[in-house]
Structure 1
């Protein structure tokens, strides 16, 4: 029987009628069937992956032929990562004063930007393709699958070149450096931008895009407090600062690597499948390892805290987990959402009664308020961080569906001669987005409380809606939802959709992380060269890799 958040001690404490009803929904949601119901063998969530505990036998290790395929996939992806790292020197989000520009051999990509861009696109395509091939060896319910250890080694091979290369896909890390330096100098980062506090000639400010130089920080107070420490270590050295921040982000990713397989086991998902979709995802490689977004810290602390809290079901575990989840939100606000869904998991463990719900909610609310009070007082910046949550929304992008709707409506009103009402339309769509997110969050909390949905799946759905409904959408926001959902569901429809979306989003952002002002002619040349080279290398290995076609492997039988 798959009862993810219950144990026998908690079962005895619950009311028999309510518990039986709730367990039935938990079992059905996890993929098993109750008496009188027929299972559909075509669905990906019918069975889970642990003998006895989750109702199906563990898959065996890869056979000899599959291990050879895994070796080819690893090397193909590592080669792509190395090529991408070389391209990053000339086509990445390098500092304005590129330190390798004058170096004879290492500086060649800087002097050949079109070739560097072609290398970057080729490396991106190779990594995405290698990830898709790897998915064939990690798909749920296979008779044989790769192990978590094999995937961790693969992740290390693919990540190392990107970890030592210049940043790619975004210049946000320079904003981290600049805003942290503002705080380190005693200014309020929620009042002054880097240009006003540091000056436009400061090496950190000069690397921040113009649109962000005069804006206050959009990040949580704890993130900037930690940034103060880094600023005191690195001084004004941009390269050293980037490397230190990258180490910090990799530590956050390490927490996620530790937590994901353990949480996946709790949810009845095989750890290998969760690791492949959630951690080895090219969005993570490109925008966490290379792009260095602070989603790594938020997600790592959030997932590790939830796993810790589920291991320590007592009051102390609840308090410590509440503090850690508040810390995750104090780094980036979406982390606060996890408090509610972790609370539901604790409620279900205690018996799933309404009095348990109110008690846990009161305890977590008290922990949240106390922790944020300490952080706010320690920072010395007051509550200014609340007012700056809307700072990222100053960028209007058609990638955000509701923003695109508002801008389209404003454009239509202008064409029809009704005046330019774009700002009014955007204000309306922003409110709609927040209301939609709140409604979905409450619905997911209720379904989780009633036992119809895994709390972690509810967390992933809520964060996914939040990412899409906010006024601005960036590709790395996909990390918010894809990791919780990857470890909480075996549904094939979700996995196929997430696989396609992740592959497409990974190739959506240009490697420079900025526009191609005065050099748009380079794009078709670089992409064409990359596509030709990609076709050649794929042809060379086409018979040695596992193509992601519909599986014909033996499906694991259910066990009683």
Structure 2
């Protein structure tokens, strides 16, 4: 861990003026969350058969989609800028900083509207429900997609995006085993299923919030600053609480396992933490990477000798093999999950750098009459990407063992490389890297860059989680209305909120 931990003076509480600013920021963000909640009724990722649309008052936004979309965009803008204002009061190096209890209350106030509103920004939760129903019927979700297993007329299939209807499950076996239990409870009630999955994701988020400040203290980063950049990030509200992506479970279990393992750095603690990390990887495969960097942590605590490294590696390898054997046998699906780790790659996202490069190369080839070689270029860039990821991971494991970089920082960089150089990139993939780096990096340049990227990505996904075929007119009208309303709200709070810029006395970089 960082040698400088605990050397910085503890910041004092906010003064009277700053507390008043915090109150305005908290209420501004809560209002934005409420606006998004209202907009979600008509502009969110609601089920095809929206149960709210027929209700006289509550269902009104579903009947005026342009207004609902404007409300959603206004809420997004308000949440993002409120988070930036909150960051000005939570920046490391300040003489006075938001307290942990003040930050916790703010996060809860902002999260409650997302927790009870219809889903936003993604329809993946319907894929969870459909694939879980396939498993609950005794079929193999790693062989059959929802359309074939359930039928195209099944309500679960009807809510799954078209690209995933014929595709086997891309998730880890433990995630689907858990989903099988949820499917047994909810039956064919889609709304109940969505709410139950949301509870599960919030529990995962709670695990992360428990672990983040404790790990941040070990790394010499102020817990409030780490929580603000990670748990209070708009990406978490949008894509974890509302969108219900299973990154919540992945990151929560991963961080909790590392913290417990560092708290009890003996053989039994190593086995217990390793088991939790295997569980995280069995939910979503990127979690397996944490096994290596956690092992480096323990090997350094045991003396940083090569004997310690080999001993830890042997124990964690045994835990991995035993854990995945038990999960595989218990699931009843065999090793099908090994072959489906590449399933998400069937969906091409051209914002992924290497995928975009392959697409550009294929377009240039067609432009010059050389034929369409996009698929071949995608295969090449995929191999290059995985080679880069593997090389970065091995390099950072080695430098972490020799003490030149903190293992938590190495984990964050590796997961960032996995997201960036993989063939598929979604905004919520940033959370893989952002959370470990937020609690282990104190550098002002990193924090400024992470803030800018988070703000841009938070506004890059439509509230519907889908396109606007046959209703493209909705988007420009709603965004224009939202921008006008947003400008008016800024005038109302002018002079009552902190500056968007962090203090000039912000923390400098910490050496590893």
Count residues in correspondence.
509
Aligned match of 2:91 in 124, 139, 145? 139
Cα pair 1:143 1:555 within 8 Å, conserved:
no
Are 2:416 and 1:469 equivalent residues in the alignment?
A: no
Cα pair 1:278 1:486 within 8 Å, conserved:
yes
Cα pair 2:87 2:502 within 8 Å, conserved:
no
Deviation string, structure 1 residues 314-361 (Cα, Å, up to 9, x no partner):
111000000000000000000000000000000110111111111111
1:289 aligned counterpart, secondary structure: helix
Distance 2:478 2:408 in 1: 41
Aligned residue in 2 for 1:61: 13
Deviation at 1:61, TM superposition (A): 1.2
Deviation string, structure 1 residues 395-449 (Cα, Å, up to 9, x no partner):
1121111000001111111111111111100000000110100011111111111
1:204 aligned counterpart, secondary structure: helix
Note the 1:65-464 alignment, pairs <5 A. Answer: 65-464=17-416
Higher alpha-carbon deviation: 388-397 or 246-255: 388-397
Distance 1:447 1:59 in 2: 33
Cα pair 2:444 2:506 within 8 Å, conserved:
no
Are 2:434 and 1:482 equivalent residues in the alignment?
A: yes
2:308 aligned counterpart, secondary structure: helix
Cα pair 2:278 2:323 within 8 Å, conserved:
yes
Distance 1:548 1:447 in 2: 36
TM-score by length of 1: 0.90
Deviation at 1:151, TM superposition (A): 1.1
Deviation string, structure 1 residues 106-162 (Cα, Å, up to 9, x no partner):
111011000000000000000000000000011111111111221111111000001
| CA distance 1:553–1:443, shift in 2 (3 Å) | closer
Cα pair 1:143 1:553 within 8 Å, conserved:
no
Deviation at 1:552, TM superposition (A): 4.6
Distance 2:255 2:164 in 1: 30
Distance 2:507 2:119 in 1: 42
Aligned residue in 2 for 1:512: 464
| CA distance 1:95–1:360, shift in 2 (3 Å) | same
Deviation at 1:550, TM superposition (A): 4.4
Distance 1:523 1:269 in 2: 41
Distance 1:554 1:172 in 2: 39
Q: Over alpha carbons, which structure has the higher Rg?
A: 1
Deviation at 1:185, TM superposition (A): 0.2
Q: Which runs of 5+ in 1 are unaligned?
A: 5-25, 31-47, 49-53
| CA distance 1:251–1:554, shift in 2 (3 Å) | closer
| CA distance 1:232–1:554, shift in 2 (3 Å) | closer
Q: Which runs of 5+ in 2 are unaligned?
A: none
Deviation at 1:270, TM superposition (A): 0.2
Deviation at 1:554, TM superposition (A): 9.0
